[in-house]
Structure 1
Amino acid sequence: MELKEVLQVLEQLAPLSLAESWDNVGLLVEPSKPRPIKTVLLTNDLTDAVMKEAEVLSCDLIVSYHPPLFRPIKRLAQKDWKQRLAIRAVEAGMAVFSPHTSWDSMKGGVNDWLVGGLGSGQVSVLSQAHGGASHSHKLEFMVRSPEELNAVVEELKASDDGTALQCSGSRPDSSGIHVSLTCSASALTPSVQILLKHSAPCQSLSILKLEKAPLPGHGQGRLSVLDQPVTVATAIQKMKSHLGLANLRLALGAGRTLGEENWTQTRH
């Protein structure tokens, strides 16, 4: 497969729009010379040891859960280990992709897998994800005639790149033609300025802010109300077994004990 085809599959698995705004997800290193993607290495963190393994295997793509490049880089030098990894990936012609919080947010993703280790329960999302619709505002107004509508639409199109506006009008009645226009936040001000120059739209204009639709089951964090209460000690053992860990760090609340029964909240 070509790199762009692999990226499309990854995007279908977990849209990058689900990631947190502060995160750095997606294609972080792109080779200058395209090559078929035959060998993919999946890792939690891209380290020197992981990069060495990728080089030995002649990997075409590294999928690193945590982004190895997070903060802005002003130079590529050997003294910084993250910069060294980026240089080695470029020299080897390997692409690097990071999904991070998009995999956390997705339904059936990392957070659902983590909370599932505690047993069956009623799971809900702590921070609901919403769809990434490009249109943020709806403008409703009236014009007196098809000619006026055409003139307004032409002015709106001339002030826009052609992608931020969607306009529809109803059949004329005794009061005129009812028009509905949806636009992005960046197109709102210039669109309003144009409409205010025309008498009919100016007198009838109303502006509505559109809310993004929630995506059920997607979002950051999970709250699980267990079907059967367990003690904190039992919950620890369940998670150690689920994660394959010998030890697990825990911060007990003031006055709490390991023998208390508790509900469980998980934010990753």
Structure 2
Amino acid sequence: MPSVRLTDVGLLVETQPPRPISTILLTNDLTEAVMDEAEALTCDLIVSYHPPASSSQSNDCVRVGSTTGWWPAGGGQVSVLLSQALASGPCRFKLEFKVRNAEELQPITEQLKKEDSKTTLTHSVNSCEAEGLVASVLCSDTALPSAVQTLLLHGVASQALAILKTEQPPLPGHGQGRLIVLDQSVTVATAVEKMKSHLGMKHLRLALGSGHTLESTVSRAAGCAGSGASVLKGVRADLYVTGEMSHHEVLDAVASGASVILSDHSNSERGFLAVVKEKLGARLPDSVTVAISKADRDPLEVV
């Protein structure tokens, strides 16, 4: 049985004892048919974009140039992220409160440190010294209830206590979806043909925007691999391109004046496996074979 490495929103890894890897199979979905194929090929490792029987969406936070960035856009385009990804890290809260002086602040600081060793505290003198000190506490989400209780027990009035959730810094170039602004507009019909060619599909689903025809021009296109409605919602564009959207999400897009191209979920992602194969091949020794699954396919088809 080959070991399995699964990637979706983040990285899931099945632990295995260290052993040599000579054959890797890439797949979008790890179905029974793909597993049978892997066993027939005596693969040592499977890299799957989706975990088995996954219900999660696949709007991965990746650098432009990955799954979504792999889609064609035409020449001279400007491409920007639609949803900025933030650095990973524990959730932190900032508590701001007032005390009369440093002597009153000291026992509060000591108590907070006892409850959470990772708590950091800073304070500054208010512009009006009569109002005392303004203190600021950073604590983890698990330490928040006890920190608030400590402040209240030490006489910090609840109306003078502000609690703010801090955000992690953005990851430059990482995020979900992208907006493409073309230097030269194309028609909806041309955009459809470009996507057919790029995805290797004979048929796509198309919903024309309100007042649009196949000859309507597209100068702004927004796309997201997988199930991208939540990322595309509200984006001003002539065309939305994604794998799947619900009936009402399509109606909302059409009413806003955007045409919609749907390829079905995994069809919008599977072609990127060729890019993964190329990147792995450039980094692995020649003794390792990287193959793309032939059994992997979208469960939906046009009949």
TM range (shorter): 0.5 to 0.7
Whole-angstrom CA distance in 1 between matches of 2:57 and 2:222 = 23
Aligned residue in 1 for 2:185: 229
Whole-angstrom CA distance in 1 between matches of 2:193 and 2:160 = 65
Aligned residue in 2 for 1:167: 121
One-letter code aligned to 2:222? Q
Q: If the length of structure 1 is used for normalisation, what is the TM-score? A: 0.64
Of 29, 34, 50, the residue aligned with 2:34 is 50
CA contact (8 A) 1:142 1:179 kept: yes
Aligned residue in 1 for 2:17: 34
Percent sequence identity is 48
Residue 199 (structure 1) shift: 3.8
**RMSD (Å), alpha carbons:** 3.7
Q: Give 4+ residue runs of structure 1 displaced > 6 Å after superposition.
A: 144-147, 174-177, 200-204
Unaligned runs of at least 5 residues, structure 2: 226-303
Q: Secondary structure at the match of 1:44?
A: strand
CA contact (8 A) 2:87 2:169 kept: yes
1:63 aligns with 2:60: no
Residues 11-58 of structure 1: per-residue CA shift (max 9 Å, x gap): xxxxx7xx3xxxxx5326x24x51336243211121233212322344
Q: How does 1:88-167 map to 2 (within 5 A)?
A: 100-102=58-60, 105-114=62-71, 116-141=72-97, 149-160=105-116, 162-163=117-118, 165-167=119-121
Q: Secondary structure at the match of 1:245?
A: coil
Q: 1:154 to 1:230 in 2, by over 3 A?
A: same
Whole-angstrom CA distance in 2 between matches of 1:108 and 1:240 = 20
One-letter code aligned to 2:46? I
Structure number with higher strand proportion: 2
Whole-angstrom CA distance in 2 between matches of 1:113 and 1:47 = 24
Whole-angstrom CA distance in 2 between matches of 1:203 and 1:242 = 59
Aligned residue in 2 for 1:77: none
Unaligned runs of at least 5 residues, structure 1: 11-15, 20-24, 72-97
Structure number with higher helix proportion: 1
Q: 1:53 to 1:35 in 2, by over 3 A?
A: farther
Whole-angstrom CA distance in 2 between matches of 1:147 and 1:42 = 63
Q: 1:139 to 1:245 in 2, by over 3 A?
A: same
CA contact (8 A) 1:65 1:99 kept: no
Whole-angstrom CA distance in 2 between matches of 1:203 and 1:255 = 54
CA contact (8 A) 1:143 1:201 kept: no
Residue 255 (structure 1) shift: 4.2
